[in-house]
Copies of this chain bind each other. A is one copy, B any other.
Amino acid sequence: MISKKMAAALESGICIRDIFEEGKKLAAVYGAENIFNFTIGNPSIEPPQVVTDALVKYAKTKPGLAVHGYPANVGFQDVRECIAAYLNKTYGTNYDYNGIIMTVGAANAMVCLCNVILDAGDEVVTFAPYFWEYRNYVENLYGKLVPALCNMQTLQPDPETFRAAISEKTKAVFINTPNNPTGAVYTEESIKNIAAILEEKQAEYGHPIYLISDEPYRLLSYDKPVPYLTNYYKNTIVVYSYSKTLSIPGERIGYISILPNVEGYKELLTGINAAIRYLGIVNAPSLQQKMLLDCYDACVDISIYKKTRDILYKGLTEIGYNVIHPDGAFYMFMQALEDDDVAFCERAKEERLLFAPGTAFYGPGWVRISYPVPAEVAERSLPAFKRLYDKYKG
């Protein structure tokens, strides 16, 4: 009934959403306050008032078709101009509005790019641990996702592993910093190493290798700045989502940004325009596009996430867990207390702690703790983490 390809993909995947939904069911049984659901990256801070105000304003705009009618496939020109100007001011870049394409969030932006760049059999390299859907984006198009495991002491990219992962078939590299699932912010040194290896490999193979930077967490960095990658490697394409910055993940709005000096600029733009139609998107939702005119530079108060991070990091390390200090996003990567991280997650459920096994992210032996939860929930979860620890080490 369903395709062989889909059936095989379903068989191999661990669905974190399922664990999340299970958490909601447990909450109904035991009371929400007794379940510690650290499974998915669901923002918990209310959207800023400017978001509500903008949605109301543009929903009421007359004539309505100016907002609700078809924009160009790539988006409204005024919105794209506004984003280009913001990026240029913030990062010293020279984006033209033609290089800004509005998308249904960052995930769909990645898929659009895969549709433009990949033929069957082509490869995409990514730094592991990685957001599990990356594999689906690539393999759904009969491509191959090649993971390059980070140094698991630092969670930074390992240059030699990365170099070895690239082949003549590599058309793109996915990079995500601040990182899901680890919370790592890749250092300037890491970025420079990656850029040098990519330049070397482009020269060796004679075709561009695009560095596709997935940046929904760019503004969620608590301890250090996040290098802007176009400043290090010419063939960088940045994709962005407002889901986390504005706490509107359901609204599906983001963009692809390409600087005019990127190799194949015009072909890429033509291809993206087509991919948006081939995927049946037609355009990113138009009200959410217009909304950005009034809140393109807004951001939730990230000190709230930082507070939760600090409580959890301090509490977990004091208990005895091995957690690599997470500098950004709202994830931390913690070593499981047994080799089988899936079994460890199951055992944690006995303490009503829900988190995702690292195996789902190509990081076996570890778990991802997704912490966009109120600080008091983090505080209250620590005794449960302690009981879990004692089961193994007590």
Contact = CB atoms under 8 A, between A and B. Distances in A.
A138 to B, nearest CB: 10
A4 B13 CA distance: 29
A275 B17 CA distance: 14
B250 A286 contact: yes
Interface stretch (A52-60, A152-160, A329-337, A374-382): A52-60
Contacts of A248: 68-69
A140 interface: yes
Interface in A238-269: 247-253, 263-264, 267-268
Nearest to A48: B64
A185 to B, nearest CB: 24
A112 B104 CA distance: 15
Copies in the complex: 2
Interface in A1-37: 1-7, 9-10, 13, 17, 21
A115 interface: yes
A164 B63 CA distance: 49
A51 interface: yes
A384 B56 CA distance: 42
Interface string A278-289: 111111111110
Nearest to A112: B280
Interface stretch (A117-125, A314-322, A342-350): A117-125
A65 B43 CA distance: 8
Q: How many of chain A's residues touch chain B, expressed as a range?
A: 35 or more
Nearest to A119: B3
A109 interface: yes
A237 B290 CA distance: 33
Interface stretch (A70-78, A83-91, A357-365): A70-78
Contact of A47 (B65, B253, B275): B65
Given A3-B116, A46-B64, A69-B43, A283 B10 contact: no
A274 B56 contact: no
A346 to B, nearest CB: 22
Given A56-B59, A279-B279, A287-B55, A250 B2 contact: no
Contacts of A171: 3
A137 B280 contact: yes
Interface string A103-138: 011111111100111111010000000000100110
A208 interface: yes
A107 B277 CA distance: 8
Given A44-B65, A250-B285, A252-B286, 16 more contacts: A2-B268, A10-B270, A10-B274, A46-B63, A47-B68, A52-B59, A55-B55, A56-B56, A68-B251, A69-B247, A107-B282, A133-B280, A136-B278, A252-B283, A253-B285, A279-B279
Closest 8 CB pairs of A and B: A1-B264, A250-B286, A107-B280, A108-B280, A111-B280, A55-B59, A285-B285, A68-B248
